[in-house]
Structure 1
């Protein structure tokens, strides 16, 4: 957290801490247990290159304040895009009317909080290089894709970056702020072989400077090479097998299956309402003893990391499952209070227009001791899933279906032919109990994840070591 963010709002909009105290008092005028003000200023740039031309170039600024009042389990929420005491006061009165209660807290006096994390660069104006440099990056990716393989017929490259400043004031006296940079680059290649079209995708980013796109796996040559590889790989793919079999998940992005099939079910609101497959299972075995899963919002520079959550509470590393035993849920202020447990710093929202709720940050499984090579060698017949596309999950039942965008047959301990159109079908808690090997190669994704919940989207990270699941249903055509 940083006082620079607090000064940004107080100086820019002519506010004082006394104004914040008065506005919080207004929010609690009709009664309530708690109130907070969420201030946001967000500058976003977006570029898209297609057909070797810049097709779109957008720059936007959004600003506003959300006011929340909590009374028991009832929440009142209102927002305004006019950051002035009069407009915020009206929003506070609206939220108060929604959540009015018989009693309220006493006078409020907010105090700036001490800095807890410093996970990403924070500057007064943000790292915003000239647009010419951004266009040059996209053109470099574009040219490298076409040059890599004559079958590439279409390339779309995109770059989005934002500089967000947030400030949270609460009726408990907390005044916290943060400056949050975020950038992401993506590329999609369409390859054509005798009329058959296949797509390959690559991308990544994080909460770091523009320099992250000049080296390593996010450099233009690496992104182009990966997108082209995935596109043309599918021309040699055989039909996917079908039926129950051993499945090996590769490291990194396959953690998206963990995020969707297990992570959402460990969010506190679903468990408080008893709508999760993991409800009432704290302290019980829900996975094999090889599985330890955490949600960690404190990893420097990662897409899912934050110095503080959107309620002004420092993020943390929360152990969800420890050696197969369910240890806890991720929560926000409301659900932690109602469940009587400590906050984990996972209260997140898409913008000031949205109410916060428990959301993941960077969710991953800790590394084991086995090598990926040994895990592959242990499989007689199975599927090796390296990359995933879309999927569907039912939080209540725990059932999921995921499509594998890159997968291979494993035959007699060897990776053989690539397969196409493979899907993985399973049940979250059940799948975890069948994890029989965990690799030593845990890796986080490159920074492409966006999580949706109740109409809100937030950036997240996922991670996984190579793991073996003794049995999972694979949907395909080959039997």
Structure 2
């Protein structure tokens, strides 16, 4: 459904007056912009047979930034007016003082259109959304008598941005987002286990609410819960691990991706700092960050500084080729911006962030990779993870994993955590499957208190010598 476009320069103040204030704010600066945003979001949660949450949020505001060297002055407001712009100008100028910089050139424009200009909130009626959530609940309870609890949610949003630069360059983007998520708790012999599935992207809500789609997700959530009902305690110790395709790429995102963001490398705080041109992974390992994949959750036509997104090769055949950059860190490091300057909202300054980060596939059959695993874990589902950027150490919890002995997949295991460091793990990749897949569209990434949607992906991968933490011996 079409919607009324965001026109801040017609509805709030004139473009000329905004540009005049922005030029004053950035006089003597190296860079800067006025970032205007309008966002609407709706979230529905149907839990345990009842509608538990129904929220609608609408916000708008601006952020004004002036950058000089390593310093940036940033001011933001929910009041989009000429008076508040002038107050923001005075605040931003405090950081850059007398200036002395040379304004950087504006980003090139792009004609790309990676997703449709739609409002996913209004395209499906509120009652139809509630009815679908109720149907999901009933479907799962009818499917298996072991189901004791179902939680289903729909989240839809529309973000509209305009970026104005001191030289008058102006770009806009309209970013829809949809997601459905289903969680199930199953009980058998007094034991309860959970499973979840979902996904979405910068797509219409109609497709996600199609019964064939949500039934597939519902069955997958139930399958995981039932698998975990028979799980035995995970073994503990150093062992080889095979990771499944798709969502397990979250390990790559955390263990390697954050360490390849420009700000950490400029400051020398990443385990990958100063290593461009060096071998950082096994031969055959190629890692990309690609914001240009149509309709994907992590994709952006332009980043939040106005730079077109790009398909950036980070690691090629095991060799580190470059980092993800916003404009400020790229300039300070003497390289080109890569379209990775992202921010959560107008209330946040941009910083280097991932979009869709994935490892390219190899030529091994996934079944052969598992058959080559003599003693280890086959992990196909992950929950949360965390990483220490300075040394790349990571810890991940598995939501679905299996014991493998002599190439045979055995019992599911519960409570497995994978522990290692990204730099070492990348050097110990022993096999790459021919089944590279992207995740179903459910990733969020946090950094410095800011959250942005992201995508991950990988093929089936064997990594040698990870530490598995578990309850078993």
Q: TM-score range by the shorter chain?
A: over 0.9
- Partner residue of 1:62? 59
Q: CA deviation at 1:478?
A: 2.7
Equivalences for residues 73-472 of structure 1 within 5 A: 73-103=70-100, 114-123=109-118, 128-214=123-209, 219-472=213-466
> CA, structure 1 residues 134+403, in 2 after alignment: closer, same or farther (shift >3 Å)?
same
Question: Distance between the aligned counterparts of 1:427 and 1:115, measured in 2?
Answer: 38
Question: Distance between the aligned counterparts of 2:395 and 2:120, measured in 1?
Answer: 43
> CA, structure 1 residues 194+474, in 2 after alignment: closer, same or farther (shift >3 Å)?
same
Q: CA deviation at 1:215?
A: 5.2
**Does the 8 Å contact 2:37/2:345 carry over to 1?**
yes
**Does the 8 Å contact 1:167/1:177 carry over to 2?**
yes
Q: CA deviation at 1:408?
A: 0.5
**Does the 8 Å contact 2:119/2:158 carry over to 1?**
no
Question: Distance between the aligned counterparts of 1:34 and 1:50, measured in 2?
Answer: 48
- Partner residue of 2:24? 26
Name stretches of at least 5 consecutive residues in structure 2 with no aligned partner: none
**Does the 8 Å contact 1:205/1:212 carry over to 2?**
no
Q: CA deviation at 1:237?
A: 0.8
Question: Distance between the aligned counterparts of 1:335 and 1:109, measured in 2?
Answer: 15
Question: Distance between the aligned counterparts of 1:105 and 1:412, measured in 2?
Answer: 63
- More off after superposition, 77-86 vs 171-180: 171-180
- More off after superposition, 362-371 vs 148-157: 148-157
Q: CA deviation at 1:26?
A: 2.3
TM-score by length of 2: 0.95
Corresponding residue SS for 2:162: strand
Deviations 1:21-60 (A, max 9, x none): 202112125x422221000000111111112121211111
> CA, structure 1 residues 27+140, in 2 after alignment: closer, same or farther (shift >3 Å)?
same
- Partner residue of 2:467? 473
Deviations 1:235-259 (A, max 9, x none): 1111111111111000000000000
> CA, structure 1 residues 57+126, in 2 after alignment: closer, same or farther (shift >3 Å)?
closer
Q: CA deviation at 1:263?
A: 0.2
Question: Distance between the aligned counterparts of 1:344 and 1:127, measured in 2?
Answer: 34
TM-score by length of 1: 0.94
Q: CA deviation at 1:435?
A: 0.5
Q: CA deviation at 1:168?
A: 0.4
> CA, structure 1 residues 127+116, in 2 after alignment: closer, same or farther (shift >3 Å)?
farther
Q: CA deviation at 1:314?
A: 0.2
**Does the 8 Å contact 2:120/2:157 carry over to 1?**
no
> CA, structure 1 residues 238+377, in 2 after alignment: closer, same or farther (shift >3 Å)?
same
Question: Distance between the aligned counterparts of 1:340 and 1:212, measured in 2?
Answer: 44
Q: CA deviation at 1:450?
A: 0.2
Question: Distance between the aligned counterparts of 2:118 and 2:472, measured in 1?
Answer: 55
Corresponding residue SS for 1:460: strand
Name stretches of at least 5 consecutive residues in structure 1 with no aligned partner: none
Q: CA deviation at 1:126?
A: 6.8
**CA root-mean-square deviation:** 2.0
- More off after superposition, 167-176 vs 426-435: 167-176
Question: Distance between the aligned counterparts of 2:119 and 2:177, measured in 1?
Answer: 15
